[in-house]
């Protein structure tokens, strides 16, 4: 029997580097009482605005909420939104050691307009261009300096296709991590999907799996999903592929066999940030010595828990521990 309390206590001694695209999750909350006379759209009487850390920064917040020390590495714009991001980073007790600001970038901002619990609209301000050559070199140098100077227990690539992660960044970091026996975990998107060679754990959702491999896969067939996942194991040298399947749970492939983990029944309110939570929990469980299928099961529970909340929020460690003891022990 797994001692989940012991595993969760180990999280407090772990440091995880998070490399990827960060963003500001901005919220405009209010009430809708009437329709605009100018167009058939609701009028929001705005009552509150809020800025939260999003993207790879939300992974860092999840790690922090679980007791670990996150080390966030990303590139933002040298702009007003970048200042807001850095201020919010500090307000949340996260270090700026791995952050670079550059005038050729803009800071990704996603503004969600919400009436009560109803999500009305999202406005995205972003660039998706890859880092230019000199900036890529500077970013890699910063990451390498931190890997060699800090005790890093795992590295997460949190890719949102906004350009902070390039093939060059992936190759240099994975090579250095493997040389130091640091596990690497990936939350991929389409652009760099096939670039993540020789990583420890690769976690696409079903849509990303199909898009990344350019294949139609039958979601109702675990065997078909395994065949697709096994291609990633074998062609990319990936040790474990973990495919998240929403209501069908999670499939874990090591290239030889698979485990299918069913989803727990939930009152789903908002799926925003669930993938961030899953990769965060998986990284800590693996670093704490848990077997991959069980780590995926715990991460699956965590993703379900945050889907019961409105907006992008980190997982509750105490609640997750209770769920694990109740459903997995």
- Kindly list the catalytic residues: 276
Let me know: does 126 contact 156? Beta carbons within 8 Å: no
Residue 294: C-alpha distances to residues 68, 74, 126, 144 (Å): 19, 30, 37, 31
Give the integer Cα–Cα distance in Å for 61 and 63. 5
Burial-class residue 99 by CB neighbours within 10 Å (0-12, 13-18, 19+).
buried
Q: Which residue has the tokens 């800025």?
A: 51
Handedness of CA 224, 226, 229, 231 (dihedral sign): negative
Closest to 22 (Cα-Cα) out of 191, 157, 176, 136: 157
Beta-sheet strands, E only, within the chain? 15-20, 22-35, 42-55, 69-77, 98-102, 109-115, 118-125, 154-158, 184-187, 201-202, 240-244, 250-253, 258-261
Sign of the alpha-carbon dihedral angle for 316, 95, 135, 172 = negative
| Secondary structure of residue 177 in the 3-state scheme | helix
């Amino acid at each position: 029997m797994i001692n989940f309390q012991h595993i969760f206590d180990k999280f407090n001694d772990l440091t995880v580097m998070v490399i990827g695209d960060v963003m500001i999750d901005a919220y405009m909350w209010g009430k809708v009482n009437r329709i605009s006379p100018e167009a058939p759209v609701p009028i929001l009487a705005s009552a509150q605005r809020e800025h939260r850390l999003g993207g790879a920064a939300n992974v860092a917040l999840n790690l922090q909420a679980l007791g670990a020390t996150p080390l966030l590495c990303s590139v933002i714009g040298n702009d007003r939104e970048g200042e807001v991001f850095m201020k919010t980073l500090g307000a949340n007790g996260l270090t700026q050691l791995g952050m670079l600001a550059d005038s050729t970038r803009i800071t990704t901002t996603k503004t969600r307009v919400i009436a009560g619990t109803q999500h009305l609209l999202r406005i995205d301000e972003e660039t998706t261009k890859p880092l230019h050559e000199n900036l890529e070199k500077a970013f890699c140098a910063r990451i390498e300096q931190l890997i060699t100077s800090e005790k890093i227990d795992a590295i997460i690539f949190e890719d949102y296709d906004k350009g902070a992660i390039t093939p060059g960044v992936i190759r240099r970091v994975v090579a250095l991590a493997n040389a130091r026996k640091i596990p690497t975990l990936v939350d991929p998107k389409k652009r760099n999907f096939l670039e993540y060679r020789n990583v420890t754990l690769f976690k696409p959702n079903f849509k990303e799996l199909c898009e990344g491999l350019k294949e139609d896969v039958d979601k109702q067939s675990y065997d078909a999903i395994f065949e697709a996942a096994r291609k990633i194991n074998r062609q990319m040298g990936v040790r474990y592929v973990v495919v998240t399947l929403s209501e069908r749970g999670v499939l874990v492939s090591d290239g030889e066999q698979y485990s299918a983990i069913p989803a727990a029944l939930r009152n789903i309110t908002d799926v925003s940030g669930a993938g961030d939570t899953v990769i965060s929990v998986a990284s800590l469980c693996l670093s704490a010595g848990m077997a991959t299928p069980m780590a995926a099961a715990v991460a699956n529970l965590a993703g379900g828990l945050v889907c019961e909340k409105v907006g992008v929020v980190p997982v509750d460690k105490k609640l997750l521990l209770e769920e694990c003891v109740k459903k997995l022990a």
